């Protein structure tokens, strides 16, 4: 009776123990959370260390192969859920050229490491032999979906691209557009057998002065390309001549499924196949359909017959092929679509010459690529 009254073994003692357990229960979630945070932090720093080690090892292997990569002011951050690599400049130097890319960020989520996102402020500068290229943009973003054997998708989206290439004959090439997109993926039916990669390219509202001079029109260009590159898997990050030769010897081919160019009333659609011959020149055949290109044909023909006669011949050829700028009949094309597309003679690349309707285009030669 006395023990029950003094609280050592009676109801008062049970209440005290219950209160202590209750207070402990209040702190258990916080303790568990602290343990989880500590474990996650340890795992993140381990992943960061492993990423840095693998990055250093890869750069060392590349340097041993003659390709020197440099990430200036490199930092690895992103705690707690991602690994974020930042470079104030990314450069590659090798025997046949070099490139430099401005501030660049590459991000991978820890829970989805095979999805890599990247963006760059630019600009981009490249040197390849006698050619020098420069590019800038208002925004550039991309993504790479990796896989155990290669990748599943690569995407690049660029707003306001500006590109110039110097050292090309007869004059520098410049391009300025509103929007550019590039997407690539392994061909579902041919990747394992042919190493084929499908590529889609879209360019909107591009100003290309070199093309303006050829077509006689200053209208902007809208372009799209769907192509398949066979044996693309043999191409690595080595010197361009060596990689192209590996691709040629493997039987690599550029299969143009659909190429579309629209410049004002001038429209061209093409499909065909292009490879490299033993002299390292493009070879193949491209089938064309066009509308409103009589002035372009006149410009090409004018190189042989003189500008005045060439323009007349171009108009005659364009009229015979139905490529003029006249309005189509209602049954030929929907309203507002412009002149209907008509088939052109095929364009052939043979022994460094460009043949149109079986005749070589004067003053046009296709040089070896390497």
The residue with greater pLDDT, 70 or 11, is: 70
Task: Tell me what pLDDT residue 37 has.
Answer: 86
Task: Tell me what pLDDT residue 7 has.
Answer: 46
Averaged pLDDT for residues 16-35: 69
The residue with greater pLDDT, 337 or 243, is: 243
**Of 72-86, 182-196, 283-297, 314-328, where does mean pLDDT reach its minimum?**
314-328
Confidence band, pLDDT 50/70/90 cuts, at residue 1: very low
Q: What are phi and psi of 240, to 5 degrees?
A: -55, -50
Asked if the model's pLDDT at residue 304 lies above 90, the reply is no
Task: Tell me what pLDDT residue 5 has.
Answer: 45
Task: Tell me what pLDDT residue 327 has.
Answer: 41
pLDDT digits (tens, 9 = 90+) for 196-208: 999 999 999 999 9
The CA-CA-CA angle for residues 77, 78, 80, to 5°, reads: 125
Task: Tell me what pLDDT residue 2 has.
Answer: 47
Asked if the model's pLDDT at residue 358 lies above 90, the reply is no
pLDDT digits (tens, 9 = 90+) for 98-134: 999 999 999 999 888 899 999 999 999 999 888 899 9
Label residues 316-336 b or e (16+ Cβ within 10 Å = b): ebbeebbbbeeebeeeeeeee
Confidence band, pLDDT 50/70/90 cuts, at residue 13: low
Averaged pLDDT for residues 308-312: 54
Task: Tell me what pLDDT residue 239 has.
Answer: 84
pLDDT digits (tens, 9 = 90+) for 39-63: 989 999 999 999 999 999 999 999 9
pLDDT digits (tens, 9 = 90+) for 242-274: 999 999 999 999 999 999 999 998 999 999 999
Q: Residue 330 gets which letter from DSSP?
A: T
The residue with greater pLDDT, 104 or 210, is: 104
Label residues 87-106 b or e (16+ Cβ within 10 Å = b): beebebebeebeebbbebbb
Mean pLDDT of the chain: 85
pLDDT digits (tens, 9 = 90+) for 149-206: 789 999 999 999 999 999 876 778 999 999 999 999 999 989 999 999 999 999 999 9
DSSP letters, 279-304, are TS-EEEEEEEEEES-HHHHHHHHHHH
Domain chopping of the chain, boundaries: 1-64, 67-176, 188-370
Confidence band, pLDDT 50/70/90 cuts, at residue 344: confident
Confidence band, pLDDT 50/70/90 cuts, at residue 321: low
Averaged pLDDT for residues 64-80: 94
**Cis peptide bond N-terminal to 255, omega within 30:** no
């Amino acid at each position: 009776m006395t023990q029950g009254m003094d609280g050592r073994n009676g109801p008062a003692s049970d209440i005290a123990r219950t209160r202590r357990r209750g207070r402990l229960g209040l702190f258990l979630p916080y303790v568990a959370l602290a343990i989880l945070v500590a474990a996650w932090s340890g795992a993140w720093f381990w992943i960061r260390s492993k990423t840095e080690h693998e990055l250093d090892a890869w750069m060392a292997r590349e340097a041993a192969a003659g390709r020197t990569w440099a990430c200036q002011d490199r930092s690895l951050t992103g705690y707690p859920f991602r690994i974020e690599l930042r470079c104030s400049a990314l450069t590659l130097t090798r025997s046949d050229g070099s490139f430099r890319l401005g501030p660049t960020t590459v991000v991978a989520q820890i829970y989805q490491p095979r999805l890599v996102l990247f963006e760059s402020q630019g600009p981009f500068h490249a040197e390849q032999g006698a050619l020098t290229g420069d590019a800038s943009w208002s925004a550039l973003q991309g993504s790479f979906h990796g896989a155990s054997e290669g990748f599943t998708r690569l995407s690049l989206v660029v707003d306001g691209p500006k590109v110039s290439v110097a050292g090309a004959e007869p004059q520098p090439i410049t391009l300025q557009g509103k929007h550019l997109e590039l997407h690539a993926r392994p061909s579902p039916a041919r990747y394992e057998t042919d190493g084929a990669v499908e590529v889609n390219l879209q360019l909107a509202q591009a100003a290309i002065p070199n093309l303006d001079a050829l077509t006689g029109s200053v209208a902007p260009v809208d372009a799209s390309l769907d192509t398949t590159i066979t044996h693309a898997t043999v191409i690595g990050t080595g010197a361009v001549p060596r990689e192209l030769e590996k691709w040629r010897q493997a039987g690599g081919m550029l299969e143009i499924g659909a190429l579309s160019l629209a410049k004002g009333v001038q429209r061209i659609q093409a499909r065909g196949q292009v490879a490299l011959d033993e002299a390292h020149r493009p070879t193949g055949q491209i089938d064309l359909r066009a509308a409103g290109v009589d002035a372009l044909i006149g410009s090409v023909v004018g190189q042989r017959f003189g500008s005045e006669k060439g323009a007349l011949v171009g108009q005659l050829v364009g009229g015979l092929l139905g490529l003029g700028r006249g309005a189509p009949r209602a049954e030929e094309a929907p309203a507002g679509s412009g002149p209907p597309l008509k088939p052109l003679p095929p364009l052939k690349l043979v022994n460094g010459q460009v043949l149109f309707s079986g005749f070589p285009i004067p003053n046009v030669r296709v040089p070896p690529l390497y």
